[in-house]
A and B are shown apart, each in its own frame.
Chain A
Amino acid sequence: MGGATNLPPGFHFFPSDEELVVHFLRRKVSLLPCHPDIIPTLLPQRYNPWELNGKALQAGNQWYFFCHLTQSRTSSNGYWNPIGADETVTSGGRNVGLKKTLLFSIGEPSEGIRTNWIMHEYHLLDGDCMAGGSGNSTSSSSNRKSHRKRGHSSMESNNWVLCRVFESSCGSQVSFHGEGTELSCLDEVFLSLDDYDEVSLPNK
């Protein structure tokens, strides 16, 4: 993974939202080279999330890739459905991007079975970027304008998006290696049980 670097053990691709938008997506849109150039571009047809291995950049248990935003977010086995509210990505106090969260369901739209596969889809807000793309921009995403709080869509850059796909575990958003700065559900239970410990065993 991320073969472009020769960092010592322990350094991994673990980008912030801001880095993804500013260092990767913006450069991609601007046709500038990315350093390091590690995130591949996948064809518009969407893969099933479990088919990304070997195709997208794998970092821990997450997969990164660029793709064009298409009309429908469907794959051969299912579809991505937006969940939650869009988040704004800021850099230096300015809004530079938008982060949408989608959930993969297996089956036909509206009657699919939900999975644990999550996608974060990063969109560029082209305040200061020279749009290098082909300009058939916002039509595909206009159907989702309604849940955008502040109508960013009119400023949305061309249709390149940067995607991060991962299988959610434990109901939490991100577990990078499945370990680390998140407590497992179990740890949380233990932690709360400690309180009872204190009560029942004051002499401990």
Chain B
Amino acid sequence: MLEIKGLRARAGEKEILRGIDLTVNAGEIHAVMGPNGSGKSTLAQVLAGHPAYEVTGGEVQYDGNDLLDMDPEVRAQAGIFLAFQYPVEIPGISNAYFLRAAYNEIRKARGHEEVDSMDFLDLLEEKLRLVEWGPEIMSRAVNSGFSGGEKKRNEILQMAVLEPRLAILDETDSGLDIDALRIVASGVNALRRPDNATIIVTHYQRLLNYIVPDRVHVLSAGRIVKSGGKELALELEAKGYEWLEQEVGAAS
């Protein structure tokens, strides 16, 4: 589904990604871990097409198409969803209106008819249960005055409604208490299907107690320095990132 080869990117003058290779197949969950500043959030943003980053090398194929050539909204319409580390507030626009607009834009792009607000409410009801929310959240303005945990939960709700083919969760676990973490994780697990995939970007191992990854990759200074199974995350948790950086340093 996703094939990244030699991806390099910079923000301003600073090169952040320095040659990323990563393949994600349908049905898989990948965890991308690494210390602060290793480039993991940049990878998530570059895949979604954030204009602050300039791709300077490499290629990314998504379902056989050149992902880097697509506008951010086209990527979204093609099924790429980024759960933001810092979701943006949109005062004055209700969560329901916003979500229906997004849902319909994506439907339109795929040649489906738009749904009206009544049909959309039916669909929402089921998705709200997934994040253990009542309908009152839908009349609040998008992320406006939401707590940090509520914002992250709202990202998962959006993901549940938009049903992406490739979801990228950018530090969705940071700043969550244990209950919110469980809700977020069960949401992600419930949406797991053989034809979609998830990339979880995280600093800590704890989210991976709830969402079991197929592959774990460790990023350091803009490169993937080690990949392995789910046990790699536990090893990192026990030994810390210094262990890996020393090991990589010794090997090279």
A and B, one complex? Answer: no
By a beta-carbon cutoff of 8 Å, the part of chain A in contact with chain B is none
